[in-house]
Every structure is written in structure tokens, then in C-alpha cells.
Amino acid sequence: MNTRFPMTLKTPMTLTTLLALAAAALALHAAPASAHGDEDHAAPRRYDAAKVEETPFGHEGNPANVRRVIPLGMSDAMRFTPADITVQRGETVKFVVRNDGKLLHEMVLGTPADLKAHAALMQKFPEMEHASPNMAHVKPGASGEIVWQFTKAGDFQFACLQPGHFEAGMLGRVLVAGDASAMTQGEVRRIDKTQGKLTLRHGPIANLEMPGMTMVFKVSDPRLLENLREGDTVRFSAERVNGAIAVTAIEPAASAAR
């Protein structure tokens, strides 16, 4: 008997939710059917502020508040392009997710623990269907969207949870830096693209309780160095990333006046 496992999740999944789903699924003894995401969920969601729920990594964003559009590709090599993204805390972004392969792929935002637990459930119950604002299931050659507001600073992830894809390494990272209003002003003294480092003469960095000085920083993403020149006046955010202080966002200081 080919029994469909009729689950449609309307909110982002936490680890507690996933464990509850597993308990329910064990009682059904469903034979493997089609993997979740069979249906075409690529169409834009209808935003309803009354149904927005907070998660450890933010909440569904209002499309009217989108500040940045981030294109993201998915391939049958089980990779995302780009695989590392930096956003500001409080920023609402729209991910435009394109499937360049011939297999069904998806992008699911979450914490590392939640994504790992969800991937394990998909291996056991591939027939589960989901429709949550932190997910975009995209058929080959099509595109989908996720509009999300990152309300907490930290390291989060995105992954494809189609059975076997996560295990093959199809995941990426979202680094959420501090508020743009808390950015520090500085001057670029030296750029070392080979080492991914940046020397800045800067004012006090409040979130790190660091006084003004000239310091060499790592950058969380080498692309942050692409449009910089020595002598530029900039605003930047610095955070502790994996135990080291790194610049996580940087922009020309003049952009603050626009």
C-alpha cells in the first residue's frame, strides 16, 4: 500500500516540533512515497502578519520591507552558490532561489541542530510534505523565493533536505551581524586579499567593548574586500566569529548619508 503521509507545516520547524512529528510518523507505518516538495511551492507566499511566528533565527519577512535581494543557485553537484551569506540583524532580505539542476532541490533556513534533525527525519520519512515560510522547494529550471527577517545575530545555515542531499554536503551559512545603526566608522589602511585581512584605523567598537585603535581584522567573507581601496572611509561591523574577531559587514561611510 502506498500511503501518503499528509503533513503540511505552516510555520518554521524547531527541534521540538520535529521530534513530535517523528513520534506521529512512527504510528503510521507509511511505505516510502514521493519525497517532500512534490507540490510546486515555488510561487511567492501571501504574507499575513497575524500568522508570523518567531524562531531562533528570525521570522517571515514583510515583502514591503525587503532591503536586499540575494540570488542563490542550486545544482546537482549538491552545492549552493553562494554558500556563504552575510546579513545585518534586523535586515529583511529576499532570497531568489534558482534550481539549475535536473533534480528537485530546496532551500531551508534554520539552526544547525534543527536542520540536522530535519534531515534525519527526511531520510526516515521521505513522504513528508512541508510548506513553511523558511523553505523554498524548487523544481528543475524553476525559481522560488524566501522573504525573511533576521532578528538575532549569530551563525545560521541553509540546506537542501531532499533525502541524501544534505548528507552530500548541500548546505550553506548565513552570518547575521549586528545592527547597521551600531556600525563603527573607520579608515582603510591596508588590504590583504591573499590572507583575507583588513587593517582599519577605527573608533570604539561598542559591541566588543574595544577602544579606538588601528587593528588588523579578518573578514568573514573575502567578497567584502572587493570594492575597497586604501584610504577609504567606511562603516563596518565586527563580531566574534568562531572565536576570532572578524569584520562581518562594511560599506562606504558616505552611504550613511543617502
Q: Provide DSSP, 59-126.
A: EEPPGGG--EEEEEEEETTTEEES-EEEEETT-EEEEEEEE-SSS-EEEEEE-HHHHHHHHHHHHH-T
Q: How far apart are CA 254 and CA 237, in angstroms?
A: 16
Find the helix packing angle between 112-124 and 15-26, rounded to 10°.
10
The H or E element that residue 20 is part of is: helix 15-26
Residue 208, pLDDT score: 86
Where, residue-wise, is CATH 2.60.40.420 in the chain? 35-177
Q: Which amino acid is at 186?
A: G
> 3-class SS at 257?
helix
Residue 32, pLDDT score: 37
The structure's pTM equals 0.59
Instruction: State which residues of the chain have pLDDT below 70.
Output: 1-44, 127-130, 178-182, 254-258
Residue 130, pLDDT score: 66
Residue 14, pLDDT score: 54
Where, residue-wise, is CATH 2.40.50.320 in the chain? 180-257
Residue 167, pLDDT score: 93
Residue 6, pLDDT score: 41
Phi, psi of 192, deg, nearest 5:
-125, 90
**35-177: CATH, from 3.30.70.340, 3.40.50.720, 1.10.10.10, 2.60.40.420:** 2.60.40.420
Return the C-alpha torsion angle 49, 145, 252, 83, nearest 10: 130
In 10 A of CB 78, how many CB atoms?
19
What architecture does CATH give domain 180-257? Beta Barrel (2.40)
Q: Whole-number mean pLDDT of the chain?
A: 81
Residue 167 near residue 183 (C-beta atoms within 8 A): no
Cis, peptide link before residue 211, omega less than 30° from 0: no
